[in-house]
Amino acid sequence: MAVNWAQVLFNSAITGSLYLIGAVGLTLTYGLSGFPNFAHAEFIALGAYIGYFVAGHLGLGPPLTLIVAFLCTGVVGF
């Protein structure tokens, strides 16, 4: 079984960038208010669950899944 190292590096970069987005949001919130607000993690998890549901059960493609997950999470956060 051959390992596709380009795919492994790409997946690692995508996962790391998602962690980076969450960490930057927490850092900015804590730096400005002095209080750690962990609601960012809740919205990240909610968006992931919505994306999983939309992709798995409704069968939409990745671009449409991202748009739907983004909009639904935004509506809940508003």
CA distance 9 to 6: 5
Which pLDDT belongs to residue 11? 95
In sequence order, the 6+-apart residues with CB closer than 8 A to the CB of 72 are 47, 50
CA distance 77 to 47: 11
Which pLDDT belongs to residue 28? 87
C-alpha distance from residue 28 to each of 8, 21, 47 (Å): 30, 11, 20
**Domains of the chain: which residue ranges?**
1-35, 38-78
Per-residue pLDDT reduced to its tens digit, 19-56: 998 888 888 888 888 887 777 778 888 999 999 999 99
In sequence order, the 6+-apart residues with CB closer than 8 A to the CB of 45 are none
